[in-house]
Amino acid sequence: MTEMTGAEMVITALADQGVEHIFGYPGGAVLPIYDALFQQDKVQHILVRHEQGAVHAAEGYARSTGKVGCVLVTSGPGATNAVTGLTDALCDSIPLVVITGQVPTHLIGNDAFQECDTVGITRPCTKYNYLVKTIADLPRALHEAFHIAASGRPGPVVVDIPKDIQFATGTYSRPKEFQHKGYRPKLKGDPDKIREAVEMIAAAKRPLFYTGGGVINSGPAASESLRELVKLTGFPITSTLMGLGAYPAADKQWLGMLGMHGTWEANWAMHDCDLMICVGARFDDRITGRLDAFSPGSKKIHIDIDPSSINKNVKVDLPIVGDCGNVLEDMLTVWRERGAKPDKKALDAWWGQIGKWRAKNSLAYRNSNEIIKPQYAIQRLYELTKDRDTYITTEVGQHQMWAAQFYHFQEGNRWMTSGGLGTMGYGLPASVGVQLAHPNSLVVDIAGEASVLMTMQEMSTAVQYDLPIKIFILNNQYMGMVRQWQELLHGGRYSHSYTEALPDFVKLAEAYHAHGIRCEHPGELDDKIREMIEVKKPVIFDCVVDPAENCFPMIPSGRAHNEMLLGDAATRVEDAVTEEGKMLV
Amino acid sequence: MSTMTTTTHYPAQGKAEQVESRTLCVLVDNEPGVLARVIGLFAGRGYNIDSLTVSETEHEKHLSRITIVTRGTPMVLEQIKNQLDRLVPVHRVVDLTRGAPAIARELAMVKVRGKGKDREAAARLAKSFDARIIDETPESYVFEVTGATDQIESFVSQMLPLGLVEVSRTGVVAIARGAEGM
């Protein structure tokens, strides 16, 4: 119990929660907190260039560490600029605590300067939010915010603090044990259902694990349990965009990503399986395609910490509500106790079928000696960085899907991408957050030239804090995914998807005091990627790629998993190369 | 590639299922913004609200009880319950129309203006509905009537030709039958 000001309470609570870094931007309504920041050295503040960048940086920080990401912004425009990041974090279940300044309590509702209804605006895009109206409530609100952000299905929490509360003096104490009155997420799965799931798994003939971001959010132990269960059963496994890395992509049971731009084998296995074991994924529309044709012959087990994810889009046969790490661990225990064995014979036949799908080589593309194919650029980036301690972020669009297809992750928390909201401009600031958390690692933002221009100003942040992020731009001068849809669905009318005036990215890098590289020919790609890795500065790598390349496979509009479109290289047998061969392309 | 017909990249709407009505009872912390959270959830996710009532019911614990009458397919109704339950200040969500039928009532105040025969008829009708006269002038009545929603509907529609001026209704409150609490 200590007497202090509200502003000091903010900093003390952050320090008590183990926060080392906070991303923010000062302004009138948070000046007392900035003053308190100035007078201490426990919490380091990272000055961004735009509040959206602060939130994405905190997301990158949170996703690569498993900790809660923290943000400090001012009232009004500070808060509204944070909204995109908050929504992004809500969609992808990223734990954040975002502190916003507010006008003094007596001015709230008076349309004061830089006033906005922050709690009203952020109510639908946060897991929870607070407007703290008395100093006595502040310590509890701050600590509760961390608890709510990190527990259950994680998400962003906003604490809106009026300026007079920041100045007011009160008593600070850290709650010892935290028990919320109404909020108690269910973490353990129902034992009966877990036993039933094990029975179903043991009886399955054509099973498939379909896993998602929930496994990553649950932590490394959940990934371990998942790997063990997949090994014990010998079942194939696929994952959503959000779940990449929970299961090692190098393993032979891995089918690649599923969904709209997933592999032929993953999507066909989804369609034809007789048991789908969904772990921490949510049957999103990018995954299911046409709902009435979605995996018509399968029984479905759905493990999720959020009951509202269950039976939302797809009716499942066995829902298990709980933290997927706990549930997987319990499943392993039951599996062993029972001495359960998978149906080997049926499984062999299933793998035989999967082998045929794999032979389709659905990710194959026609490489070129003249022009850099975007897929090739990512393959080379992967080959030249895979033996390093590497983290990848992305923007949103074609490059993001190619990154998911061609960059292979062996562990969780290495892949930071905006999945649910699909926020262009996510990757660059996210890489700032990742690099800050992992100063000695290689952090690459696989970007598109259109996306990255949305938050390019954060290069300045990277330079200020000596964060040697690598912005690897697949520059096709188009909003590639928009162009692809216009080609396929809108008669090739490329309405406003071509950027007629792009900056010179090398000069732009230099203007930021960073390092710029431009690469136009496949032959020089390797050397220039090496240069990018070696330079101990932030780098903008302008990789000029084929502007006409489309991202395949693709499940077109309103189609089922078995109606996928393939690129022309994959459908022709003579072009089909072996898995090993593909790596060498 | 040119064979594609639809021009959206979202899955088509599912087949229309039977829509049902449900009365949900939601126990929440009575804190600022809690009603906005509940209503915002319904508005944001496109759920229906046919009736909504709210009042603090346990003062020491600052708990309010919200009664919501909503409509949807069974899948949507399950979603509504789960989405409500997910809100941080929500303690419990109980579906009162599931299982044993609950008691649902609303209260209406009905103002009727008229003289002579119509006025007498209005008073007679009120009596048959067990409505009380809570305000009276030589040319008007305000009746207070309590009952299930369809009774209130019936009362109001029968008052219409007798000089109905206005109606104020509480919306539905409901409670389960029997000895058990929610």
Q: Write a three-state SS string for A244-275.
A: CCCCCCCCCCEEEECCCCCCHHHHHHHHHCCE
- The pTM assigned to this predicted structure is 0.94
Domains of chain B (ranges; CATH) run 20-95 (3.30.70.260), 103-175 (3.30.70.1150)
Whether the pLDDT of residue B164 is over 50: the answer is: yes
Q: Which of A248, A247, A266 is nearest to A256 (CA)?
A: A266
Whether the pLDDT of residue A421 is over 50: the answer is: yes
Q: What integer is the mean pLDDT of A204-233?
A: 98
Whether the pLDDT of residue A418 is over 50: the answer is: yes
Least confident of A104-108, A172-176, A191-195, A278-282: A172-176
Measured between CB atoms, which of A120, A180, A312 is closest to B79? A312
* Exposed e or buried b per residue across A473-503, where buried means at least 16 C-beta atoms within 10 angstroms of its C-beta: bbbbbbbbbbbbbbbbbeeeeeeebeeeeee
- Band (pLDDT 50/70/90 cuts) for residue A59 is very high
Is B116 within 8 Å of chain A by CB?
no
Question: A122-150, pLDDT tens digit by residue?
Answer: 999 999 999 999 999 999 999 999 999 99
A136 Cα to chain B: minimum distance (Å): 15
| Most B CBs within 10 Å, among A118, A123, A565, to test the B interface | A123
Whether the pLDDT of residue B13 is over 90: the answer is: no
Helix, strand, coil percentages (3-state) for chain A, rounded to 5, are 45, 20, 40
Q: What integer is the mean pLDDT of A387-392?
A: 98
Whether the pLDDT of residue A580 is over 60: the answer is: no
Chain B residue numbers with beta carbons less than 8 Å from the beta carbon of A561 are none
Residue A1: predicted pLDDT:
77
Q: Which of A400, A501, A513, A502 is nearest to A466 (CA)?
A: A513
Residue B14: predicted pLDDT:
64
Residue B7: predicted pLDDT:
53
Question: B73-126, pLDDT tens digit by residue?
Answer: 999 999 999 999 999 999 999 999 877 778 999 999 999 999 999 999 999 999
- Band (pLDDT 50/70/90 cuts) for residue A422 is very high
Q: Which residues of A are designated catalytic? A: 51, 113-114, 163, 481
Q: What integer is the mean pLDDT of A280-303?
A: 94
A308 Cα to chain B: minimum distance (Å): 5
Can you spell out the DSSP letters for A214-234?
A: HHHHH-HHHHHHHHHHHHHHT
Q: Do B36 and A124 touch (CB under 8 A)?
A: no
Q: What integer is the mean pLDDT of A46-63?
A: 98
Is B78 within 8 Å of chain A by CB?
yes
Measured between CB atoms, which of B1, B11, B86 is closest to A308? B86
Residue pairs spanning A and B at CB distance below 8 A: 74
Residue B4: predicted pLDDT:
43
Whether the pLDDT of residue A573 is over 70: the answer is: no
Is B73 within 8 Å of chain A by CB?
no
- CATH class for the region spanning A374-551: alpha beta
Whether the pLDDT of residue B1 is over 70: the answer is: no
Q: Do A290 and B85 touch (CB under 8 A)?
A: no
Residues of chain A with CATH 3.40.50.1220: 191-358
Mean pLDDT rounded to a whole number for chain A: 95
Q: In sequence order, what are the beta bridge partners of A208?
A: A276
The answer to whether the beta carbons of residues A245 and A386 sit under 8 Å apart is no
Whether the pLDDT of residue A289 is over 50: the answer is: yes
Question: Percent of chain A at pLDDT above 70?
Answer: 97
Give the residue on A whose Cα is nearest the Cα of B28. A182
Question: B29-86, pLDDT tens digit by residue?
Answer: 999 999 999 999 999 999 999 999 999 999 999 999 999 999 999 999 999 999 999 9
Whether the pLDDT of residue B3 is over 70: the answer is: no
Which of residues B4 and A269 earns the better pLDDT score? A269
Is B83 within 8 Å of chain A by CB?
yes
Looking only at the bridges linking them, the beta strands covering B90-95 and B63-72 are unpaired
Does domain A191-358 match CATH 3.40.50.300? no
Residues of chain A with CATH 3.40.50.970: 2-172, 374-551
Whether the pLDDT of residue A582 is over 80: the answer is: no
The answer to whether the beta carbons of residues A374 and A476 sit under 8 Å apart is yes
Is B74 within 8 Å of chain A by CB?
no
Q: Fold for domain A2-172?
A: Rossmann fold (3.40.50)
Residue A81: predicted pLDDT:
98
